[in-house]
Each structure stands twice: as structure tokens, then as C-alpha cells.
Amino acid sequence: MGMTMSQKILAAHCGKETVKNGELISAKLDLVLGNDVTSPVAINEYNKSKCNCIFDCQKVVLVMDHFTPNKDIKAAEQTKQVREWADEKGIENFFDVGEMGVEHALLPEKGLVVAGDLVIGADSHTCTYGALGAFSTGVGSTDMAAGMAYGKAWFKVPSAVKFNLYGKLNKWVSGKDVILHIIGMVGVDGMLYKSMEFSGEGVKNLTMDDRFTICNMAIEAGAKNGIFPVDKQTLKYIKEHSKKTPVVFSADEDAEYDEVFNINLSEIEPTIAFPHLPSNTKTFKDIGEVPINQVVIGSCTNGRYSDFEVAAKILKGKKVNKRVRTLIIPATQKIFLELAQNGLTKIFVEAGCIVSTPTCGPCLGGHMGILAKGERCVSTTNRNFVGRMGHPESEVYLANPEVAIASAITGKISHPNEVVD
């Protein structure tokens, strides 16, 4: 029996010719990631072990993004601890205010991850890098500590589910709708500890940003990882961003999958996840009038330039509803600068939005947009659990940037067609 794409990457990193579902392996890591929330815990565990080694100072990445700029004294103390430890250990890829971005947008942009890599991160959305043909997955801070020291981690080889994509997305539909559609089908635990492997002729019709978004939310279906095949688009992106040499793996024709889903991209509509699960999805034929108080466009899911570009095209010459606080949060400094250079910042500000420095901020209810009791937010982020963005009696509706900005204009959840001339 052949191997899936994920299994091949794991086999290559544990020095075996083949691995099989459920097998426990110790594999060498290409990158270990932490942020300002998870790194302090990992550093504490590292220090407790009295281990003074770092497996590779270039392969440990620390990104201060969740509560930065520091929102309070505790956040300041956490980032101070990471900052001083990174300096002491000579960590080369340490990103703080002024250089940082939302980690899962920043690492691909910096070229730190390429096809064939094995990456762990103490953040559940580390699965984003599967868009580049890497095996990447979230781990706990203790595993991060061991990974930083020894460059290895234990894995149970996941079984896989194949998503055969065909057709082409329609207007106002993007990768966010694809993954919400899939999560609505399989549920938040439907892919528990499985590898979500995307394939089919429809892959070529998805942009890299679509793929990043889809893999980013694989964890919202319970998956161990999400991964796309490496094609011309992937290699072009890697060449433009990285000096590392990609290693291309592809699934065998006789690879074993637990299930195969055929997804017609042309049938997917703008999709909204209603409170309080990403699987509680609806399309506009099932949505009545839902007034809102806030819109957030940003995060590791939809904070890339293309997300703001499409939102700005819809918004240009219009105003957001005065009752709707509209937050524009570019995921990296590079994107922030591009918005300003290309006139998008002007469009957003003149329309009544605010444009923030890169931060995870409101996505996890950290800062920069906390919801009060009874308030509703349309957000391009990845989770809408109870209390995710503030008060436990607030509500978060997950949507693509097009729906988010249309809703900001009307003051209620709206299809882009409602506001486009």
C-alpha cells in the first residue's frame, strides 16, 4: 500500500522508507514556532529541564503577536521574558513590535517554511503551512520546549481523508467559504487527528491565499494537519519568498484514505458560520436580518493583502454604517505598508474604518476590539466559540472579507451584491 503526502514527509524526517497509520515515530524538525502566549510556558519548561542546548538558532522562531503591542502589565512581562531569553540563546528569528506580524502570515512571507518541511508550533493554527506542501501542526508548549532543545518531536502517524476539488469558485467566494463549507459538512471533530489532503484539478483554480486560509482552519475540523499538493503556483511563491530549497512530495496513486470527498468549487456560495461553532454554517438563502455592531477583517486566516484588496474595491466611495465599528488589521508590516502605498488605507479611513498595526488582538478576545454583552461581530477570523471575542453573551459570525465589508456598510449580515453598484 502506498503512502499519502503527509506520511511521506513524516517518513523522510524519521529516516524510514515507509510509515503507516497509527505508528509512533520520532522525527527531525525543520522549524519550531512559538508566540508571546505560548513561548513563556515553553521557556519555563525548558529551564526546568536544565537543558542549555538549542538545536539550531535559525530554526526556532518566536513571534510576539497575540497581545502586542503589550495590552497590559502581564503581556509586557511575558514578552520581556521571551525577548531576554531569545537574546540570551541567540535566536535569530525573533520578531517583536516593528518587525512582527501575525505568525502564520509572517513565516511564509519571510520564506521560513517551504515544501517538504516538518514544522511544529505552539499554536493550533500552525497547520497553515500545509498550503506550501509542508507537514505543519500545532503542539503543546512542553513539546515546543523539547523541540527547541533537540530538534525532534514524537508523532503518531495520522490517517488521511482526501478532498478532491474540481470546478472554479464564483464571484464573492474564496478559500474561506471552501473551508467553512467543508467544516459544515464534517463537523468540528469530523477529522479528529486526521490529515486533510486536498487534490484534484480544482486546486489550480485556488490562489495561494485561498490555500493558506483553507489549511489554517483544518484544525477547526479537528484535523492534525491540512496539506495541498505542490504545483507551479506553490513553487513560484516559494521562489519569490525563500532561499530554502523545497522538497516536493506527492501522494502515491494507491495511497490509503479513510474517506474521499468530492467538492465542486463552483457550487460553493458565500458561507457564514453562526455562533457558536465554525460548523454552524449557513448560506444567504437561510439567513434573515441579523444586525451587527462590529466587523473585523484580519488575522492569520484572512489578513493578507488580497483580503483587503477585495474589501477596498467593494468599499471605495462608500461609508461603513455608523453603528458598526470596522477594524482593518493587516497581518504583517509588509502588508500594512502595501495598504498605505497602494491607497487602500485611505479608502478604509475615509470610509470610517480604523487601520491597526499587525496583531492577533480581537481574534482571541485579547484586545483591539473586545465585544460587550449582546454585541455581534462579523469576523474573518477562525473561531466563534462562546466568549471568543469578549463577553460570553456576545456573538461572532465567521465570513469571508467580501461579506464582512458588505455587512459593515449595511449594518447587518449582507451579501456583497447588496452594496455593489
Whether residue 360 has pLDDT greater than 80? yes
pLDDT given at position 68: 87
The pLDDT > 90 percentage for the chain reads 96
Chain centroid offset of residue 148 CA:
22
pLDDT given at position 100: 86
Select from 160, 138, 227, 223 the least CA-distant residue to 189: 223
pLDDT given at position 50: 84
Cα separations (Å) of 149 from 14, 54, 55, 143?
17, 4, 5, 10
pLDDT given at position 258: 96
Whether residue 294 has pLDDT greater than 90? yes
Tens of pLDDT, residue by residue over 228-275, are 999 999 999 999 999 999 999 999 999 999 999 999 999 999 999 999
- The rounded mean pLDDT for the chain is 96
Q: Is the dihedral of CA 376, 270, 130, 19 positive or negative?
A: positive
- Place 52 in a pLDDT band, splitting at 50, 70 and 90: confident
pLDDT given at position 234: 98
The pLDDT > 70 percentage for the chain reads 100
pLDDT given at position 51: 84
Q: Is the dihedral of CA 142, 145, 149, 152 positive or negative?
A: positive
Whether residue 173 has pLDDT greater than 90? yes
- Place 421 in a pLDDT band, splitting at 50, 70 and 90: confident
CB atoms within 10 A of CB 265: 22
Mean pLDDT within 15-29 = 95
pLDDT given at position 93: 97
CATH of domain 5-264: 3.30.499.10
Taking the C-alpha atoms of residue 143 and residue 300, their distance in angstroms, rounded to an integer, is 22
What does the domain layout of the chain look like in residue ranges? Answer: 5-264, 271-418
Mean pLDDT within 43-49 = 93
Fold of 271-418: Aconitase; domain 3 (3.30.499)
Tens of pLDDT, residue by residue over 299-309, are 999 999 999 99
Residue labelled with grid coordinates 523541540: 147
pLDDT given at position 215: 98
Taking the C-alpha atoms of residue 28 and residue 41, their distance in angstroms, rounded to an integer, is 22
DSSP E strands in 59-145: the ranges are: 60-63, 93-95, 118-121, 135-138
Taking the C-alpha atoms of residue 232 and residue 239, their distance in angstroms, rounded to an integer, is 10
271-418 shares the fold of 5-264: yes
CB atoms within 10 A of CB 277: 18
Residue 374: exposed, middle, or buried by beta-carbon count in 10 A (0-12, 13-18, 19+)? Answer: exposed
Contact (Cβ atoms closer than 8 angstroms) between residue 304 and residue 329? no
Tens of pLDDT, residue by residue over 77-102, are 999 999 999 999 999 999 999 998 99
Q: Which three cell numbers mark 230? A: 505542490
